[in-house]
Amino acid sequence: MTNVDYKIIVGLEIHVQLATRTKMFCGCELIFAAEPNSRVCPVCLGLPGALPVMNKQAVEFAILTATALNCKIAEFTKWDRKSYYYPDLPKNYQISQYDLPIGSNGFIEIPLPDGKVKKIRIRRVHLEEDAGKNLHTAENYSQVDLNRAGTPLLEIVTEPDINGDEEVKLLAVELQRIVRFLGVSEADMQKGHMRFEPNVNLHIKKDSTEYKTPITEIKNLNSFKALEKSAAFEVQRQLDEFLESGRVMQSGNKKTFGWDDIREVTVLQREKEEAHDYRYFPDPDLVPVVVGEKWLNIIKAKLCELPLTMQNRFVIAYGLSDYDAGVLTTDRATAEYFDSAVKVDGDAKRICNLITQTGLKIANEKNCKVSELGISPQRLAELAKIVGAGQVSATAAVTIFEKMTQDDSLPSQIAEKLNLLQKSDEGELEKIVDEVIAINPQAVEDARSGDKKSKKAHGFLMGQVMQKTKGTANPQVVAKILNSKLNKGI
């Protein structure tokens, strides 16, 4: 077998549906799963005489995102028509941006599993309108629904700096996190808010010569899983194809493959006779956008702390693990909720645990965010405090947490009412331990024996103490006392 080494090269094109209330060029409301063709007006229907008027919020979201992606914001930008004919594109042109995108030359940092951070360059960020939907469920005809036509889309194009299928997914996940943090998109994959098109090829070193395989563009990816799997599949397919045919990248031999989610393969799309001539030209119905410093500063003021920055801060300043910091910064509300609680009273680790081990579960059940459970950062901080002081056990904390979602009482009040306050006074507990030891000599002997029975006996003794205190003894303190007494051999 010849000596073959390869590097995976991937560039990613992402379309993000912006969370504006209305479409890009008209006031039709954006509602998920509305009745077909019910959110359509003369403008997005492309009726004769209709004219587009740009949505300011869409432009601002675009600038905000481009800024978060470290792009240069174009001082002067315009709108171009991209012509092609398709039933879900009623004007038979899409209003987009061609040569003057609103953002360019940026970068995004993605956290890698080994803890390192990788920088992926962003070539461009631009705004365009979405097309409607074609449905092909019937046998003899296709149906067209224009509800989605005119939805504002942000197109983000990276440089081919991604070097693996996992990395592609990580980039996609990070991008989702960023746009959600910024509030510019819900980025719900199920609702089709993010669409991905990776461009994949390989740089193969065979017998000390480098070859580049033809680039493949993959379409029809609707989940992170599909993104990762299709990239992996494509890498293997290209490797196999190269080893068999030796075909290399040439101008014009880029191909488009569709991902078949069921068979989990990429399928060559029907080859076009000619490349698309989109005949881009400036849209004469729209005037240019000039982004002056004043406006830019107003928009930049809306920038929040970005997720990766926040995540790193949690690790460094609060000593959290990468994993926990990652969980907390999955969404902005949770991250800010945690951050506020820590700022009230700094027990970061405990507050983190309360959120990650208890809060998220309850929030999930109630189908809301942790921050929406009705527990203020102050109350959360207090709960962490009394747990830390040993006043309540970890188990009791769960109960208290649940109760806090129901009313405004303070954690200490709830603990008292429900009799959850733990006894942690060593003197008091020592007396009880002594009592238990005194009336259970056999168990004590077993516990000291160190053989098979000792663990059970130990547990039994602990249980007895807990019983005598009606479960209110602090188990850590009890264990400490018990162990020291057992070891002393009294």
Partner 1 sequence: MNKDILKLTCRELRDLITKGEVKSSDAVLAVFAQIEKRDAKIGAFLSTFKDNALKKAKEIDEKISKGKPVGALAGVPIAVKDNMCTTFGTTTCASKILENFRSPYNATVIEKLLAADAVIIGKTNLDEFAMGSSTENSGLKKTVNPWDPSRVPGGSSGGSAAAVAAKMCFAALGSDTGGSIRQPASFCGIAGLKPTYGRVSRYGLVAYGSSLDQIGPLAKNTADCALLLNVIAGHDEKDSTSVDEKTAPLCDWLEKVDKPVTGLKIAVVPELFKGADSEVVNTVKGAIEVYKKLGAEIIEIKMPHSEYAIAAYYLIATAEASSNLARYDGVHYGYRTQNSADYVEVYTKSRNEALGAEVKRRIMLGTYALSSGYYDAYYLKALKVRNLIRNDFTAAFERADCIIMPTSPTTAFKIGEKTANPLQMYLSDVYTIAVNLAGVPAISIPCGLDKNKLPIGLQIIAPAFEEKKLLQIARMFEKAT
Partner 2 sequence: MGQKKIDIEQVKQVAKLSRLALSEAEIAQFAVQLSAILEYVEKLNQLDTANVEPLAHCLPINNCLREDIVKQSLGTEKTLANAPDRDEQFFLVPKILEEPSGF
Q: Which C-beta is closer to partner 2: that of 1 or that of 141?
A: 141
455 SS3 class: helix
Q: CB under 8 A: which stretch of 139-147, 300-308, 325-333, 455-463 binds partner 1?
A: 139-147
- In angstroms, the CA 77 to CA 131 distance is 22
Kindly write out the interface string for residues 70-89 of this chain, putting x where it contacts partner 2 by CB under 8 A and - elsewhere.
--------------xxxx--
Q: Please, what is the minimum distance in Å from the beta carbon of residue 78 to partner 1?
A: 12
Q: Which does 412 bind (CB under 5 to 8 A by kind): partner 1, partner 2, none?
A: none
Q: Which C-beta is closer to partner 1: that of 84 or that of 323?
A: 84
How many Cα neighbours within 13 Å face the side chain of 277? 3
Backbone angles phi, psi at 199, to 5 degrees: -110, 120
Which residues are within 8 A (CB) of 214 and not within 5 positions of it... i.e. 6 or more apart?
Answer: 201, 238, 247, 248, 249, 250, 253, 254, 255
Q: Which does 22 bind (CB under 5 to 8 A by kind): partner 2, partner 1, none?
A: partner 2
Which residues are within 8 A (CB) of 343 and not within 5 positions of it... i.e. 6 or more apart?
Answer: 377
| DSSP-assigned letter for residue 450 | -
Q: CB under 8 A: which stretch of 21-29, 106-114, 202-210, 233-241 binds partner 2?
A: 21-29
- Token pair belonging to 80: 């171009």
The site for partner 1, by CB under 8 A, has a size of: 29
Subset of 184-213 contacting partner 2 (CB under 8 A): 195, 197
Kindly write out the interface string for residues 81-120 of this chain, putting x where it contacts partner 1 by CB under 8 A and - elsewhere.
x-x-x-x--xxxx---------------------------
Q: Which helix (H) or strand (E) holds 483?
A: helix 475-488
Most distant CA atoms of the chain, gap in Å: 98
Q: CB under 8 A: which stretch of 40-48, 351-359, 458-466, 481-489 binds partner 1?
A: 40-48
Q: Please, what is the minimum distance in Å from the beta carbon of residue 270 to partner 2?
A: 5
- In angstroms, the CA 82 to CA 94 distance is 5
- In angstroms, the CA 164 to CA 252 distance is 24
- In angstroms, the CA 28 to CA 43 distance is 9
Q: Which C-beta is closer to partner 1: that of 49 or that of 115?
A: 49
Residue 162 near residue 120, CB atoms below 8 Å? yes
Q: Which does 394 bind (CB under 5 to 8 A by kind): partner 1, partner 2, none?
A: none
466 SS3 class: helix
Q: Which does 64 bind (CB under 5 to 8 A by kind): partner 1, partner 2, none?
A: none
Q: Which position among 55, 185, 230, 464 is part of the footprint of partner 2 (CB under 8 A)? A: 55
Kindly write out the interface string for residues 262-301 of this chain, putting x where it contacts partner 2 by CB under 8 A and - elsewhere.
-------xx-x---xx-x--x-x-xxxxx-----------
Told to check if 253 binds partner 2 by CB under 8 A, we report no
Q: Which does 219 bind (CB under 5 to 8 A by kind): partner 2, partner 1, none?
A: partner 2
175: number of Cβ within 10 Å: 25
- In angstroms, the CA 109 to CA 365 distance is 33
- Token pair belonging to 95: 């209003």
Q: Please, what is the minimum distance in Å from the beta carbon of residue 267 to partner 1?
A: 21
DSSP string, 206-238: ETTEEEEPPPEEEE-B-SHHHHHHHHHHHHHHH
Kindly write out the interface string for residues 92-131 of this chain, putting x where it contacts partner 2 by CB under 8 A and - elsewhere.
x-x------------------------------------x
Residues in the chain: 490
- Token pair belonging to 21: 């209330």
Q: Please, what is the minimum distance in Å from the beta carbon of residue 39 to partner 1?
A: 15
Residue 220 near residue 263, CB atoms below 8 Å? no
| DSSP-assigned letter for residue 269 | P
Subset of 51-70 contacting partner 1 (CB under 8 A): 51-54
Q: Which does 418 bind (CB under 5 to 8 A by kind): partner 1, partner 2, none?
A: none
Q: Which does 91 bind (CB under 5 to 8 A by kind): partner 2, partner 1, none?
A: partner 1
Told to check if 252 binds partner 2 by CB under 8 A, we report no
Residue 93 near residue 81, CB atoms below 8 Å? yes
Told to check if 290 binds partner 1 by CB under 8 A, we report no
- In angstroms, the CA 483 to CA 481 distance is 5
Told to check if 183 binds partner 1 by CB under 8 A, we report no
Q: Which position among 142, 253, 395, 483 is part of the footprint of partner 1 (CB under 8 A)? A: 142
What are residue 366's DSSP bridge partners?
A: none
Backbone angles phi, psi at 113, to 5 degrees: -60, -30
Q: Site residues (CB under 8 A) for partner 2?
A: 15, 20-22, 26-29, 35-42, 45, 53-59, 84-87, 92, 94, 131, 134-136, 138-146, 195, 197, 219, 256, 258, 269-270, 272, 276-277, 279, 282, 284, 286-290
Site residues (vs partner 1, CB under 8 A): 42, 45-54, 81, 83, 85, 87, 90-93, 142, 144, 146, 277, 279, 281, 284-287
